[in-house]
Amino acid sequence: MTVTDAPTAAVRDADVPLVTVDLFRDIHKAIRSELFGVTLEAGRVSPLDTEGRAEVARHVVRVRELLAAHAQHEATHVEPVLEEHLPEMGAVLAREHAAIEARLDELVELARWALEADGPTARARTHRLYLDLAEFTARFLDHEDYEERRVGPALEAVLGPEGAAAVQQAIVAGIPPVQRATSLAVMLPALNVDDRAEVLGGIRAGAPAEAFAGVWALAESVLTPAQVQELSGALGL
């Protein structure tokens, strides 16, 4: 099959959600956005721009922190359920998460190594960082796809929608406030208006008014005015 050959069954079933409760949708959109963004930055930054290269290195660190936090949430709330009900999938995720963490540490060191260089060496090292970020992104996309298309549906099949919702609620409840704000700041721009309304609607339903006001201020700071207006309408604000 070539890329232009439409898989008939997939097209026919495209309007059927894979799951009722999607554990991975929002955070995976955020992660994809960050991975694409930092890879593009590494590819276009001038080797002569020391501050630009420093910002790329800082962005690599932020991506590492985002992915490490996400992996920890899965290790705490998803992997134990998989170990009980779907041990083979649990073993796959545990193994992949360990490999991803090690590779992220390498990327952080590579970014620092690239920043130390100057002249022609800076160009060569920055390009090496770009290639490694692109390679990591490609592999991580496969990891996310496995979780979205295999793990999520399998979990919901054994737990039911209510059980999957309980796992999702436990993940959200376990995120410290500062980390939650950091995640929202990268997540909201990566979501569509329906996703944003669902996320903020859930927060509004379960948080005091002053807490939601802070979340709304954060949304206004990371979204465009048009996106804010669209989201406000979707939430009925």
Q: Distance from CA of residue 155 to its chain's centroid? A: 19
**Domains in the chain and their CATH numbers?**
20-176 (1.20.120.520), 191-237 (no CATH)
pLDDT on residue 43:
97
Cα 193 from Cα 201, distance rounded (Å): 12
pLDDT at position 17 is: 76
Q: What is the pLDDT of residue 14?
A: 64
Chain centroid to Cα 28, Å, comes to: 3
Give the model confidence (pLDDT) of 46-81 as tens digits.
999 999 999 999 999 999 999 999 999 999 999 999
pLDDT digit string, tens, across residues 78-130: 999 999 999 999 999 999 999 999 999 999 999 999 999 988 899 999 999 99
- 214-234: average pLDDT: 96
Mean pLDDT computed over every residue of the chain:
92
pLDDT band at residue 234 under the 50/70/90 scheme: very high
The predicted pLDDT at position 1 comes to: 44
Q: In the structure encoding, which two tokens stand for residue 202, read together?
A: 């859930």
Say if CB 196 and CB 219 are below 8 A apart. yes
Instruction: Identify the weakest region by mean pLDDT among 12-26, 148-162, 196-210.
Output: 12-26
Percent of the chain with pLDDT over 70: 93
DSSP per-residue codes, 59-77: HHHHHHHHHHHHHHHHHHH
pLDDT given at position 15: 67
pLDDT of residue 18: 85
Over the stretch 192-212, which tens digit does the pLDDT of each residue have? 999 999 999 999 998 899 999
Please, which residues have CB within 8 angstroms of residue 186's CB and are 6 or more apart in sequence?
30, 33, 34, 66
